[in-house]
Each structure stands twice: as structure tokens, then as C-alpha cells.
Structure 1
Amino acid sequence: MAPDNTATVLSHFFLPAALFCLLLSACATHRWAEPVTEEEHSEIAEIIATMQATDTTCPESFDSEALIFWKSPLDNAAVTGYLQLLSPSFIKFIVSNPLGQPIYAFASNGDTFQSLYTRQQLHIRGSVQSLAVRKEIPQVLVKSEWFALLTGHLPSQPLTILQVQRDVSNKTVWLLLSPIETNKTLEKTWLHLDPEKRKVLGYLFLDREGKTLAEILYENSEDSVDYCTPNEKTTITNLPWGTEIIVELKDIQTDIKFSKTDFTLPVPNGYRKQLQP
């Protein structure tokens, strides 16, 4: 990939996993119709509880090759890197040149982040929340569990379901989730669920006025894939100016166990340090 394309991609969307990069303002379309019955609501709640219980038996970390595509009417770009994730929100992404030398790295524990720019010999450290405010990134995304969003699974914390609505076009359902303790925002999170397959189809994030902040969709190459396997393709739509971000995972390794200390970026000798509040 050409250096100018790499710079474009990094400057555009390499914040937390390069996924939560812009202020999103599209209007939400009606995805659901009438609510389910009380009995069906209880059945859905049981399915969610069972899925979360199953999640506890799945690997809580993985690494993978990640291909990230940025598409917009004005600019198309792509970058390949090495992605590591640890539940609930630990993430590291490294971009290397053809010789295998790192040219950019990003790491975060969900609260703070670190970035390394090899060419500029610069190490940046700061608060994810402050970074989100500066970049106008919706707080509902910043405070969500990144492992769940990037794997197509449910959050690890217990979920409270406020509403269950039928999808307008098929037998799937939409669940309005109560904000978890670490994500007390005014935005709304809707979970798109296939209760028959017990599969998360996506997430829809709305602001207090019902406008779309982001929509995340998942896709696997095979329907028969093991439940614990992370989704191979994540698409983020409803970005402004017709922009779309696609993340494709290849060579997913779930047998590697990471610890929290693996998600740091030590300052190399000779690098300038920059602290962002």
C-alpha cells in the first residue's frame, strides 16, 4: 500500500480500533414494527442470558490479521495490520511496512490510549474520553465494550432489556438495552438478534432524538461457524458523507492468552513524548 494511502487511513480513523472516528448524524430508519408479547419478551431474555453464559466459555482474547477498508465518495483507502483484543476493551493494532517494521501502533485499555508514530519518532498518551470529545465521537461507542463490538458478541456485563420489537421484514428482533453502569449516556443502544440461531446480527446506536450515530453489522463466511469464533467481517455504516468502514479478520488465533500488560506501548529510546489530557 502506498505511503500516502496509509497516512490517509491513519489520520482518518485509527482511534480505538479505527472504528469510532467521526461524528455520525444520519437519521434512523424504522427497523422494527410492533413489540413482542410479554411471554416472548421473557423468552428473549432467557436466550440472552444463555448466550451470555455461553460467552463465558469462549476465549476472552484473540489476535488476527486485520484488513480495514475506508470507502467514501471522496476517498477510498485500505490498510493491513495486526490486531489483538482482550475482553472487555483492551485493544492493540500495529501497522508494519513490507519489511515487517512497525510504522504505527495504537493500544488502549478502554480508558487511556497510547499511539506510536515511527516515522516521527513520537509517542502519544492520553484519555480515550477526552480524545472522543475532541474528535466528536459518540460517548455511547467510546464507553461500549470494544471486544463485543468487534467480535459480534454480547457485552460481558449483565444486560437489562427495556423493549423487544419485531423486525419489519423478517423473524429477527430488536432489543433496546438499558445502559450498563460503565456506559451511562443518553444515547440508545439497540441490539439486532436472530433468536432462532441465537446470533447477534448487529448494533444500532441512536442519539436522544432518534438520529443514527452508527450501525454495526456482522458477517461470517459460513453459517456453521463455531459460536465462539469472532465474526470475520464487521461493517460500520451510516457515517456522514456516505462513508463506510469495513473490518475483515483473517487467520484468527483464539488459543493465545493475553494479559492486560500486553496492551501497552513502551516509549522507545529517542522518541518524543506527548501527553494529551
Structure 2
Amino acid sequence: MKDKSVHYCFLGLLIFVLTGCVFPAQPSPVPEPVEYIVAEPERSELINAFKRMLAGQQDCAPCFDANVTLTFNSWLKSGSVSGFLQAMSPSFIKFVAVSPLGQPFLLLSTDGDQFHYIDVGQAKVFEGPVRTETFSRYAPKGFKPEFGYYWLIGRLWPGRMVITTVTGEADRQSYWIDFASSRDGLHSRVLFDPVRLVIKQHDLVDAGGNRLTRIHYGNHSQGACPLPGNILVESSNQHETLTLIMVWNETNQSYDEHDFEIDLPRSFQRIFVK
């Protein structure tokens, strides 16, 4: 029987791809970074570079697959699991965890609305809508499970965005871009690299200035659509982390909705999550 830490690790991925966060939302104050307000004409130049990045997202393939090593760490538990990931815009995700012998033992699939989580060893299938009470306990408001693909590739989902402030870090290598708050009072801050045209960090902040979650993106690939090789998700108190090491495969993959379906064995116990 697999160590329970592996299940915590895999469930961490489940919460991340379904809701955009791994841990219960316990707000913590956003630390005061060393920043300066970006003035004109630098501000306009940075916003134009950011718009080029957004426009360049059309160069990103709608489908990706990758080999993934997933590691979960906390004060009480830790674990690691490797497997294969498939993703398709805007919300389709499938992850298969495999043993050292290449045998699948845990599977997750979601279309951004419904999910299936299969524990092969226990012959159980957990399924239900992503917007259940179970998952809402773990996810801060404002995350959009219907855009799970964009969280994984370190991009922003389509839609109207209003930039409020632009601040620069002291090294002038990266710049923070703040967006107008949504109806629930939350807003995003992204750390933007204007040279590589990538997002290095994405924070979700509430109306009181408290950070709810933070996602780091690093080790980006080359090409027209740089993809993050490392994704680090921090809980609000920074005592729990989820790390994904991604090895992206060829980007000319072509999937459809049926590729994200999982044949459920009739002998498995099916448990509906509320």
C-alpha cells in the first residue's frame, strides 16, 4: 500500500488544478517589498511589453503534455509522486501518477466543471462538481477552475483586465503589475519579466491587502511560448508548499475532450463528493 503522504501530495495537485489553490485560505499580510512607482515613459513601455506578452499567448498551443514530479511539504507531512500530465485550453487536465515500474496507481481528470479522482489500489472513484462545499473550504474566492490550463502554463486567462499600478523592484529586472479588484474585492498582482515576456509570480490579494496565495513560475523554456519548468505554490503562512517540476514534451499535440475521459472500472466503488 502506498504511503499516505503520496495521497496528500496527489490531493494537493487535485485542489490546485480544480481551484487554483492548495491550502485553506488563511490570509497573511503582503510583505513590503523594495519597490518604486514606475513613472512615464517607463510605465507605458512596460505596459506595452505586457500587452505583447498577452497578445503572444496566441502562439501557445492549445494542448500540452509533460512529465511531472510533484512534491508536497508541510510541518506534518511530505511526499513525492511522478507521473504524466495532459492539459488542453481552457480547463481540461488529466494527471496519471505512476509507480517506479510504470504502473498507474492514481488518476485525476477534470474539465473545469466535473472531476474524477481514481485510487487504483483502493478501487475507489471520487467524483463530483469542482464547486462543491468540500473544495470551497480550501479555495479562496476569485479563482476560476474553468481556466485551470492557464494556471499550469503560467499565463493569464482571457478577459478584460484593468491595470491600476506598476511598480518596479530595486534591481529593475522585474516589475509588479496590479489589476483592478473583482466584484468580491480580490485582485491579482503579477511579477512580470519584460525581457523574456513571462510571469514569474502571481499573488492573489484581498481587499485588506492580505495575500491569500502565491504561485512562483521559473526555469522557463525557450521559444515563442515559454513554459515554466518549475511551479511553486505557497500557502498563505508559507509553512506548506506544493512543487511541480515539469518536463514539457513536443508542443504539437492535438487532443479533444474524449482524451480527458477515464474509463471507470465497474468493480470500483464510486463516491460522489458534495
- TM-score, normalising length: structure 1: 0.85
Identity over the aligned pairs, expressed in percent?
20
Aligned pair count? Answer: 272
Superposition pairs of residues 202-241 of structure 1, within 5 angstroms: 202-220=201-219, 225-240=222-237
Q: 2: CA distance between counterparts of 1:91 and 1:218? A: 19
- The 8 Å contact of residues 91 and 145 in structure 2, kept in 1 or not, is answered as no
Superposition pairs of residues 30-69 of structure 1, within 5 angstroms: 30-31=32-33, 33-37=35-39, 39-69=41-71
Listed as ranges, the gaps of 5+ residues in structure 1 are none
CA 1:145–1:256: 2 relative to 1, 3 Å: same
Partner residue in 2 for 1:196: 195
Which letter maps to 1:242?
Answer: H
Partner residue in 1 for 2:98: 96
Which letter maps to 2:162?
Answer: T
Which letter maps to 1:155?
Answer: W
Mean CA deviation greater in 255-264 or 16-25: 16-25
CA shift for structure 1 position 152: 2.1
Q: Deviations over 1:49-92 (max 9, x none)?
A: 22122110221211111101112233321111111111222211
Partner residue in 2 for 1:187: 186
Q: Deviations over 1:23-62 (max 9, x none)?
A: 2433211236343235444333322222122110221211
CA 1:195–1:132: 2 relative to 1, 3 Å: farther
CA shift for structure 1 position 214: 1.2
CA shift for structure 1 position 168: 4.4
Superposition pairs of residues 80-229 of structure 1, within 5 angstroms: 80-131=82-133, 133-143=135-145, 145-178=147-180, 185-220=184-219, 225-229=222-226
Listed as ranges, the gaps of 5+ residues in structure 2 are none
- The 8 Å contact of residues 114 and 123 in structure 1, kept in 2 or not, is answered as yes
- The 8 Å contact of residues 16 and 91 in structure 1, kept in 2 or not, is answered as no
CA 1:228–1:11: 2 relative to 1, 3 Å: closer
1:263 equivalent among 248, 260, 265: 260
Partner residue in 1 for 2:6: 6
Which letter maps to 2:176?
Answer: W
- The 8 Å contact of residues 220 and 232 in structure 1, kept in 2 or not, is answered as yes
Partner residue in 1 for 2:24: 23
Which letter maps to 1:46?
Answer: N
- The 8 Å contact of residues 134 and 273 in structure 2, kept in 1 or not, is answered as no
Partner residue in 2 for 1:248: 245
Which letter maps to 2:22?
Answer: C
- The 8 Å contact of residues 233 and 248 in structure 1, kept in 2 or not, is answered as yes
